[in-house]
Amino acid sequence: MTPRWTPTRLVAADDSYDVRNSSDSVSRFGAYLRQNARPDECADAPVSAEEFAAVVWRTATAPVMSPGYVRLRPDVAAVTPTWSEDGDGRLMFDVHVPLQHNALVTRQSALLRWADWQTGPRDPDARPYRPLWTPERAVDAVLTTTTVRLAVTDDWALPAPSGTPARLVTDAKGSVAAVADSVNRFAGPIVAALRGDAPC
């Protein structure tokens, strides 16, 4: 079932699909986690909550899982973890949002002759949020994508992984839930403002 999207709800974990489509009747996400686990990495060192969140988020989203355990609202292109390069190595999440010319605050007349993002098909469950695709024809185009960068702080309340293999899926789902909540809480109002949506 498609998550119920709102102006500020950008991402959501889909637990029912995860269980319903699992090969082990427990968790499809869990199977992907086990396939992508690297037991040789950090074998003797504990993994921080931030490192764990980055790894499990990548596994929970496309292109690793398709469809992902984490669903993105159709008008959000990606939500990706990255690390700051300023020496403190802080975890950040980038929310990539394609914006059509008419969504820009200062619309320039020079843009009128350029092609824009092509609007994807309507999905009644995701209305009014539609995917934006590159133009089908080879034409000059201005394709604007805004990146909302979120620095992970203590407010994210990322849970520390237990390090117990039996709890891997539970720990991963808890971490993904904390990231999803924070992305919605902090980036949701910004994306709503960019799109001119009234937050709920």
**Rounded to 5 degrees, what are φ and ψ at 97?**
-125, 110
How many domains does the chain contain in total?
1
- 16: domain range? 11-195
Residue 61 lies in a domain: yes
Largest CA distance in the chain: 59
Whether 1 maps to a domain, the answer reads: no
Model pTM score: 0.87
pLDDT of residue 8: 95
Which pLDDT score is estimated for 119? 86
- Alpha-carbon distance 196 to 7, whole Å? 9
According to the model, what pLDDT value does residue 9 have?
96
The pLDDT assigned to 175 comes to: 97
Answer whether residue 70 is part of any domain: yes
- pLDDT by position in tens, the chain (length 200): 678 899 999 999 999 899 998 888 789 999 999 887 654 444 455 789 999 999 999 999 999 999 999 999 999 999 999 999 876 889 999 999 998 876 665 556 667 778 888 888 888 777 788 888 888 888 888 888 999 999 999 999 999 999 888 899 999 999 999 999 999 999 999 999 888 887 65
Residues 38 and 56 sit within 8 Å (Cβ to Cβ): no
